[in-house]
Amino acid sequence: MTDHINSRNFSRRTALALPALGFSALSLPGHARAQGDGPPRRGGTLTYAVAAEPPTYDLHATSTFAVMHRVAPHYSTLLRYEAHNYPNVVGDVAESWTAADDRLSYTFKLHSNIRFHDGTPLTSEDVKASYDRLRAPPEGVVSNRLPSFQQIAAIETPDPLTVVFRMKAVDASIMDTFSSPWNSIFSAARLRADPNFPARNVMGSGPFRFVEHVAGSHWAGERFDGYFRDGHPYLDGFRAITMSPSAMVNALSGRQIMAEFRGFTPNERDRIVRALGEDSLVQESSWMLHMILTFNTKQKPFDDARVRRALSLAIDRWGGSQNLSRISQLGQVGGLVRPGSSWSATPEEMQKWPGYGRDMVANRAEAKRLLREAGHENLTFTLLDRNHQPYVTAGIFLIDQWRQIGVRVEHQQAELSAWYAAQGSGNFSALVDSFTQFSDDPTNVLVKYISSDRAEINVSGSTDRELDRLFDQQASTVDPVARKALVRQFETRLFDESYAVPILWWQRIVVMNRRVRGWTMAPTHMIYQDLGDVWLSA
């Protein structure tokens, strides 16, 4: 799947014209592999920026890119997404695999030549120990994605190169679980000695060996000569430098770094392109990251579906997309799954949902009618937001949209910790939230919207057993057509109730120095970060 991925050179003139081109031109279908030209060249150190410090080194215990973008080059996973061909899955430590006809067991054959950085061989015991740690973490160990492993009943290791996963029930998303970049393989021996070993140490079987982490400054890795893929990695090493987004733009423009893999705003992109000229390479894609408007359904008047639906109806998502995509990372209109993915609704299907119709006069009239019916014509409330872009932009946009139906809203912008604290305590009326995942699989995405007593990640406090039923049903439906129909039903139900609704999806804009080759652009910033295929041109 390479839709909505666009890789181009930007001349100075094109860069200056970018804001006028608008989002539609930026999302033309392109080819993801434009930068992989020519035979790879060995050598060099890749320097790139990461915007935050890692709270841990343990990929199992976190979801932040601050860890992924530093630690991924040191580890392998069971499967992985094929480079330049997302979401096709290929083996990583697994050489081959088979699924039973009833999908209740999966058997993996491992490569025989894989070694950890300490020289010990990687065997099925290491895979089992790692997955056991993920699905049943010992005391004191954090596993950040426990629900992904609920359907795994047992893991068997009939021989050192074979792993068998026995399932309790069919799990349609299990291949994404095996390919997850978070599910890194740790050494069983190290875990036996200290189950929390990966939290403060880095010792994997990935293309790069850990060198050092200087707090607040940089993280360095060097080529692991014993890496099991012949000829890989190409780089001598890498250096991930901690820096603020504003400093990144200057550093990339001044050639102090070569890349940043999360994403820039359109304005930042244009500035870098103007500075680097022919040496810049811009790649753009839709992003598995969406901005959400969440209502506190335990608080009046947001316990009333009419009020929630009215506020969603009043949002001109199509107009917002066109305008906000020029100034911020906010981009496409979409439902609960990424627009453009194989699971997403078509624009025609979307327009049937409340708040997605293109006739804003009719939408706003209906919104006013609903508020009147609910007895909240002169509604006022506070919108809790983060003091960070593009959250602030989204908040201002919402407030302006609601102003047009006579609703007055105060914009409260909070620090990240205060924002989380308000969520945890339920001390908010409405909230600008966001959600990201490493794959488009509906189970990974819809979990944000099921009842809060099943998924605490849903901070609206809603309980909806119909949504839960649809979620469970799609999770065990292997047929993609039937599953997609269930996803549509889920979305329709959710938009009717509007406990939490998407505002807009983000656009991913990666700008790098043209010397960086072989890296794969994807609609998520969590994959393709092991740098095994990356090389530097002369």
* Residue 24 identity: S
Burial grade of 299 (CB within 10 A; 0-12, 13-18, 19 or more): middle
361 binds another protein (CB under 8 A): no
251 binds another protein (CB under 8 A): yes
Separation of alpha carbons 243 and 231, rounded Å: 32
Q: Using CB under 8 A, which of the segments 243-251, 302-310, 370-378, 512-520 binds another protein?
A: 243-251
448 binds another protein (CB under 8 A): yes
- CB of 408: closest distance to another protein in angstroms? 25
- CB of 125: closest distance to another protein in angstroms? 27
Please pick, from the candidates 10, 23, 65, 471, the single residue that binds another protein as defined by CB under 8 A.
65
421 binds another protein (CB under 8 A): yes
**Within 10 A of 54 (CB to CB), how many other CB atoms are there?**
21
* C-alpha 113: how far from chain center: 32
Nearer to another protein, 98 or 150 (CB): 150
Nearer to another protein, 26 or 49 (CB): 49
Nearer to another protein, 137 or 226 (CB): 137
Residue 503 to residues 332, 397, 461, 490, Cα–Cα distance (Å)? 9, 10, 19, 17
Nearer to another protein, 212 or 410 (CB): 212
Q: Quick one: angle between helices 480-497 and 465-475, nearest 10?
A: 160
Question: Residues 201-220 vs another protein: string with x where CB under 8 A?
Answer: -------------xxxxx--
- CB of 217: closest distance to another protein in angstroms? 4
Separation of alpha carbons 394 and 431, rounded Å: 11
Please pick, from the candidates 2, 6, 27, 62, the single residue that binds another protein as defined by CB under 8 A.
62
34 binds another protein (CB under 8 A): no
Complete DSSP assignment for 143-194: -TTGGGGTTEEEEEEEETTEEEEEESS--TTHHHHHH-TT-BPPPHHHHHH-
241 binds another protein (CB under 8 A): yes
* Residue 131 identity: Y
The pair of three-digit structure tokens given for residue 307, joined into one six-digit string? 């009020």
Separation of alpha carbons 341 and 345, rounded Å: 9
Nearest in space to 523 (alpha carbons), one of 423, 445, 408: 445
- CB of 518: closest distance to another protein in angstroms? 24
14 binds another protein (CB under 8 A): no
Nearer to another protein, 134 or 398 (CB): 134
Nearer to another protein, 9 or 387 (CB): 387
Nearer to another protein, 27 or 47 (CB): 47
267 binds another protein (CB under 8 A): no
365 binds another protein (CB under 8 A): no
Residue corresponding to tokens 């960070």: 388
273 binds another protein (CB under 8 A): no
142 binds another protein (CB under 8 A): yes
Q: Using CB under 8 A, which of the segments 14-22, 169-177, 435-443, 504-512 binds another protein?
A: 435-443
243 binds another protein (CB under 8 A): yes
**Within 10 A of 208 (CB to CB), how many other CB atoms are there?**
26
244 binds another protein (CB under 8 A): yes
Q: What contacts 47, CB < 8 A, 6 or more positions away? A: 238, 239, 240, 241, 256, 257, 258
DSSP run (H or E) holding 69: helix 65-71
Nearer to another protein, 107 or 412 (CB): 412
Please pick, from the candidates 149, 186, 435, 471, the single residue that binds another protein as defined by CB under 8 A.
435
Nearer to another protein, 49 or 430 (CB): 49
| Sheet with 162-167, side-by-side order of all strands | 94-99, 105-110, 162-167, 152-159
Separation of alpha carbons 335 and 348, rounded Å: 12
468 binds another protein (CB under 8 A): no
- CB of 59: closest distance to another protein in angstroms? 12
DSSP run (H or E) holding 374: helix 360-374
Q: What contacts 439, CB < 8 A, 6 or more positions away? A: 87, 173, 176, 179, 180, 288, 524
Which residues form the interface with another protein (CB under 8 A)?
A: 49, 53-56, 61-65, 140, 142, 144-147, 199-200, 214-218, 239, 241-244, 246-247, 250-251, 253-257, 275, 415-418, 420-424, 435-437, 447-448, 455-457
